[in-house]
């Protein structure tokens, strides 16, 4: 029971930060829940479900800011990645995957901080490739926001479009990811009960975070986003 209660606090904190940045929920919640003792497979499944539920409201709220030329390739590109990640996760030690992911995040995150965004969208293939990488990470570690955030941060579209496009990606990709995991592992009642306990706090935290995130100055938003990625990379290494 103590794990469930402590998990509520973790989920609320992660949801606030996720609402502010558009992608930070899984990056914060997954490593911390694993450090708390939650089984990796449970953390992945529950966090994918929570991220899906919280992003539906954001997608509706920021519908006018969605840039479909970016959002759809990200989501569709993730579908084969989700299947690949599920196959890899079934035979590879999850701790090894988290170590590789953490190192890559710590290497790439500083690039996000110092690289100046350029106006205009990147090629569709760039977004599709980022989506594939995100999908592969989604069904192994649930850290599916890192490659996508890196891809979206390369252009100067503003934080509303950044958050809106991520919402579309998470809604579509996480829905498919949960189906893939369900076909591989089935549905565990323990996961369902944790979702029941943690989802209300996540919805509240996400509402607060989204309200803050759309009001932050662009420079501050970018720095917070990049530092969050670096922190998640370190937490991922610690949880391995």
Residue from 75, 95, 87 nearest 135 by CA: 75
* Confidence grade of residue 240 (pLDDT, cut at 50, 70, 90): low
Mean pLDDT value of segment 171-188 = 87
Q: Give mean pLDDT, residues 13-29.
A: 81
What values do phi and psi take at 139, rounded to 5?
A: -90, 5
pLDDT band at 114 (very low <50, low <70, confident <90, very high): low
Answer yes or no: are the C-beta atoms of 23 and 230 closer than 8 Å.
no
What does the pLDDT look like over 66-101, one tens digit per residue? 999 999 999 999 999 999 988 887 777 767 766 776
Side-chain-side CA neighbours of 104 within 13 Å: the count stands at 13
CB neighbours of 75 closer than 8 A, spacing ≥ 6?
A: 131, 168, 169, 171, 172, 173
């Amino acid at each position: 029971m103590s794990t469930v209660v402590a998990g509520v606090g973790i989920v609320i904190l992660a949801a606030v930060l996720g609402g502010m940045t558009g992608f930070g929920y899984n990056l914060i919640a997954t490593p911390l829940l694993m450090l708390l003792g939650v089984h990796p497979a449970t953390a992945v499944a529950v966090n994918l479900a929570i991220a899906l539920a919280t992003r539906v409201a954001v997608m509706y709220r920021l519908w006018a800011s969605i840039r479909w030329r970016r959002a759809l390739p990200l989501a569709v590109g993730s579908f084969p990645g989700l299947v690949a990640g599920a196959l890899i996760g079934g035979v590879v030690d999850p701790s090894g995957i988290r170590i590789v992911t953490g190192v890559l995040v710590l290497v790439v995150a500083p690039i996000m901080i110092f690289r100046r965004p350029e106006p205009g969208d990147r090629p569709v293939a760039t977004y599709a490739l980022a989506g594939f990488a995100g999908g592969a990470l989604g069904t192994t570690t649930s850290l599916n926001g890192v490659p996508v955030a890196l891809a979206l941060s390369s252009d100067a579209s503003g934080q509303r479009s950044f958050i809106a496009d991520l919402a579309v990606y998470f809604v579509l990709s996480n829905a498919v990811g949960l189906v893939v995991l369900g076909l591989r592992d089935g549905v565990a009642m323990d996961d369902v009960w944790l979702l029941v306990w943690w989802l209300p706090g996540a919805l509240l935290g996400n509402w607060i975070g989204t309200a803050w995130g759309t009001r932050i100055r662009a420079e501050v938003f970018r720095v917070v986003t990049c530092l969050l990625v670096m922190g998640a990379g370190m937490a991922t290494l610690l949880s391995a």
